[in-house]
């Protein structure tokens, strides 16, 4: 049940997560940085919550009445035009594209599984995959970096988190999770170089710039000024089968370049909270805090997933999830070239969702109560006003779970019919239909 005190931003309800067995992805905080002397203790879940979803170690708990309590977010969000069950991605706005930035194909140009790290006696199976896990690990381990995030406090850098990232280009583009970098102002990236003959690993640390983030898909891209890096080859997650061997490489609890092995436990998992959904890979490879942003590799040494969460449940073990690389590819390119994911339509309002029970309790109207209108967007000229309660969009109740599908089928510049209940000075209610031109969500 949604708590009527939850905040909602730009047309997306940010109320509490439902305890319905789904995995929630967003916590609003980075991976905790481990202390230097010993690994950090795991945070305990709220005692009233039996099921807790974690962003590869970051626990999300509800407040109030168990797991369904209000969950407040301090960021602006919007209905997405791209969901995991969309049949196609909206066309990009060419006018917003930074044509000087590379495409994903250009970033991956010349990138192969780095055979130069391997000894001459490496064995392969008949299908070309690695015979032994140790050789696979030696081939790809240095493509995973250690990311530390910090904030500035009176001129001092204060560490706030640590996690993992994947080098996707030889000149320093790195993909990680949005929840790793959000709420931070600076980022350092440690790149590893391992001598396979001696086993000695050197590292070099770089300051990184943030290219773009996307909370919808929990992805972010960083850039460091470097050359000839051991970039990872991005594979094809559509070719995965149940039971395929995979390895996860990351920096759990600060243990750098840590490897875990497992299999593909599930495909096309709709990993979701009550507002959004991703198509994810499920694996039994152990995932822990700090693995976020690391890679899930197939037996050919290709990245097939970006690790971003696990499930903690009294009745479940070894349930880790990774964003499918095929779903991530378009997002990565958009973040590099635009800083945000193009083609997403929003109303451009801040609202408070009031469900039927809350409306009855408060004597209010059930729906989206408009709290703020972005004056720089077309919605400001539509006739919609603060205080209106939106009850329907294109004839569909805004309290229906699938109302976001309306936005997934729209592009910026399209119009929707917004039905509002407006109360006049005499306290009388009146239904009004308003045509609203949708705007493009630019991640701000």
Sign of torsion over alpha carbons 63, 69, 72, 77: positive
- Which residues, in sequence order, are CB contacts of 396 under 8 Å at separation 6+? 402, 403, 406
DSSP readout, 138-154? HHHGGGEEEEEEEEEET
Q: Assess contact for 213 and 335: CB atoms under 8 A.
A: yes
Interatomic CA distance for residues 354 and 12, integer angstroms: 13
Q: Assess contact for 26 and 179: CB atoms under 8 A.
A: yes
- The average confidence (pLDDT) of the chain is 77
pLDDT at 24: 36
pTM: 0.72
Q: Which helix (H) or strand (E) holds 304?
A: strand 302-313
The tens digit of pLDDT for each residue in 300-345 reads 999 999 998 766 656 667 788 999 999 999 999 999 999 999 988 9
Percent of the chain with pLDDT over 90: 49
Radius of gyration of the chain (CA): 23
With bands split at pLDDT 50, 70 and 90, how would you rate the model's confidence at 273? low
pLDDT at 444: 61
The tens digit of pLDDT for each residue in 343-355 reads 889 999 999 999 9
Check whether 145 has a pLDDT greater than 50.
yes
Interatomic CA distance for residues 10 and 373, integer angstroms: 9
* Residue numbers annotated as active site: 179, 218, 292
Candidates 375, 306, 314, 324; CA nearest to 168 is 306
What is the pLDDT averaged over residues 188-205?
A: 88
With bands split at pLDDT 50, 70 and 90, how would you rate the model's confidence at 247? very high
Check whether 222 has a pLDDT greater than 90.
yes
Q: Which residues make beta-bridge pairs with 278?
A: 271
Interatomic CA distance for residues 55 and 396, integer angstroms: 33
pLDDT at 277: 67
The tens digit of pLDDT for each residue in 165-181 reads 999 999 999 999 999 99
Percent of the chain with pLDDT over 70: 73
pLDDT at 70: 21
Q: Where in the chain is the domain with CATH 2.30.42.10?
A: 344-444
The tens digit of pLDDT for each residue in 61-114 reads 222 222 122 222 222 333 332 222 233 344 444 445 666 889 998 899 888 886
Q: Where in the chain is the domain with CATH 2.40.10.120?
A: 82-341
pLDDT at 300: 94
Identify the residue with better confidence: 47 or 177: 177
pLDDT at 384: 94
Q: Please name the fold of domain 82-341.
A: Thrombin, subunit H (2.40.10)
The domain 344-444 is placed in CATH, from the list 1.10.150.20, 1.10.287.3510, 3.40.1160.10, 2.30.42.10, at: 2.30.42.10
With bands split at pLDDT 50, 70 and 90, how would you rate the model's confidence at 58? very low
């Amino acid at each position: 049940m949604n708590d009527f005190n939850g905040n909602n931003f730009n047309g997306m309800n940010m109320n509490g997560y439902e305890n319905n067995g789904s995995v929630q992805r967003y916590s609003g905080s980075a991976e905790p940085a481990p202390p230097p002397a010993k690994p950090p203790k795991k945070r305990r879940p709220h005692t009233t919550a039996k099921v807790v979803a974690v962003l590869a170690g970051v626990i999300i708990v509800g407040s109030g009445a168990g797991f369904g309590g209000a969950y407040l977010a301090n960021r602006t969000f919007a209905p997405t035009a791209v969901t995991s069950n969309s049949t196609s991605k909206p066309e990009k706005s060419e006018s917003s594209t930074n044509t000087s930035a590379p495409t994903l194909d250009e970033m991956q140009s010349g990138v192969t599984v780095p055979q130069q790290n391997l000894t001459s006696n490496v064995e392969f199976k008949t299908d070309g995959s690695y015979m032994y896990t140790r050789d696979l690990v030696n081939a790809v381990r240095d493509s995973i970096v250690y990311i530390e995030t910090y904030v500035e406090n009176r001129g001092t850098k204060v560490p706030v988190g640590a996690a993992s990232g994947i080098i996707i280009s030889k000149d320093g583009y790195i993909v990680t999770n949005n929840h790793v970098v959000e709420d931070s102002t600076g980022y350092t990236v440690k790149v590893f170089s391992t001598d396979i003959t001696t086993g000695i690993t050197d590292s070099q640390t770089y300051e990184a710039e943030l290219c773009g983030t996307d909370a919808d898909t929990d992805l972010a891209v960083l850039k460091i000024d470097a050359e000839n890096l051991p970039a990872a080859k991005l594979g094809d997650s559509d070719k995965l089968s149940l039971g395929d061997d995979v390895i996860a490489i990351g920096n759990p609890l600060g243990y750098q370049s840590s490897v875990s092995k497992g299999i593909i436990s599930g495909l096309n998992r709709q990993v979701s909270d009550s507002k959004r959904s991703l198509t994810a890979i499920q694996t039994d490879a152990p995932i822990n805090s700090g693995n976020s942003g690391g890679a899930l590799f197939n037996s050919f040494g290709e990245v097939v997933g970006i690790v971003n969460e696990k499930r903690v449940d009294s009745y479940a073990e070894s349930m880790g999830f990774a964003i499918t690389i095929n779903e991530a590819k378009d997002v990565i390119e958009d973040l590099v070239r635009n800083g945000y994911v193009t083609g997403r339509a929003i109303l451009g309002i801040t609202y408070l969702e009031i469900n039927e029970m809350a409306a009855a309790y408060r004597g209010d109207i059930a729906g989206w109560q408009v709290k703020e209108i972005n004056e720089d967007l077309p919605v400001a000229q539509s006739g919609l006003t603060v205080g209106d309660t939106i009850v329907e969009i294109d004839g569909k109740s805004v309290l229906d779970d699938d109302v976001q599908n309306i936005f997934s089928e729209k592009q910026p510049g399209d119009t929707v019919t917004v039905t509002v209940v407006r109360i006049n000075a005499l306290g009388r209610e009146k239904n009004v239909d308003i045509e609203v031109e949708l705007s493009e969500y630019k991640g701000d």
